[in-house]
């Protein structure tokens, strides 16, 4: 008997566990047969699989998940993943993949493992949080400052200083993302 399989990266199990901690559903779409797919899924902690799936069928499976009001992110690296990467709400290509997968995706990650996908998700959540915080403080400043200035209750020099401070705050708060460690 001869068995051949693609090696599973050391970080895959950890990444799958972290996805689950973020309440993300992990589904494996593969062209492999059911037995092989089930063995791999069991080993790395994936609960739901679709095996024996052709490239165009991957896109159909994703469309079906979207019809069930699921927001679908597809991670792929090959030519066979391109149709699914295009139709997914978020197509993520692994940088070590083919040019077709990279061109078909919304995001291309340089590292070839699922931990980089996890890092991208965490960074995007942190970015959205920062944007909301910046908008909150900008709106508060404008809600208070504009009426005070309109009724002459705010010295123009103080208004200019406050506006400058508001801009510095937004920029400084955004620059914190650069230091964010995952």
Do 99 and 154 reside in the same domain of the chain? Answer: no
Does residue 96 have a pLDDT over 80? no
33 or 98, higher pLDDT: 33
Tell me, what CATH number does 71's domain have? 3.40.50.1000
The string of pLDDT tens digits covering residues 116-148 is 999 999 999 999 999 999 999 888 888 888 888
Q: Which residue has the higher pLDDT, 149 or 85?
A: 85
Q: Pick from 177, 155, 157: which is nearest to 165 by CA?
A: 157
Domain count, the chain: 2
48-50 and 27-29: which strand pairing? parallel
One domain for residues 35 and 101: yes
Looking only at the bridges linking them, the beta strands covering 90-94 and 27-29 are unpaired
Within this chain, do residues 21 and 103 fall inside the same structural domain, yes or no?
A: yes
User: What is the percent of the chain with per-residue pLDDT over 70, rounded to a whole number?
Assistant: 96
pLDDT at 100: 87
Q: Do 128 and 113 fall within a single domain?
A: no
- Mean pLDDT along residues 49-59: 92
Task: Supply the pTM of this predicted model.
Answer: 0.80
- List the single range of 16-25, 92-101, 121-130, 171-180 with lowest mean pLDDT: 92-101
- Based on the fold, state whether residues 34 and 95 are members of the same structural domain: yes
* Domain-embedded: residue 7: no
């Amino acid at each position: 008997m001869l068995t051949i399989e693609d090696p599973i990266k050391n970080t895959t199990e950890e990444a799958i566990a972290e996805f689950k901690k973020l309440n993300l559903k992990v589904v494996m779409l593969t062209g492999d047969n059911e037995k092989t797919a089930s063995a791999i899924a069991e080993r790395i902690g994936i609960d739901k699989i679709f095996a024996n799936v052709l490239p165009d069928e991957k896109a159909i499976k994703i469309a079906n998940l979207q019809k069930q009001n699921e927001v679908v992110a597809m991670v792929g690296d090959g030519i066979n993943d391109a149709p699914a990467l295009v139709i997914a709400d978020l197509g993520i290509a692994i940088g070590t993949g083919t040019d077709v997968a990279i061109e078909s995706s919304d995001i291309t990650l340089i590292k070839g493992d699922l931990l980089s996908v996890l890092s991208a998700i965490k960074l995007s959540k942190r970015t959205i949080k920062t944007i909301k915080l910046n908008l909150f403080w900008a709106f508060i400043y404008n809600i208070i400052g504009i009426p005070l200035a309109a009724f002459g209750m705010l010295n123009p020099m103080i208004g200019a200083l406050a506006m400058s401070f508001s801009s510095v705050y937004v920029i400084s708060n955004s620059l914190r993302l650069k230091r964010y460690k995952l």
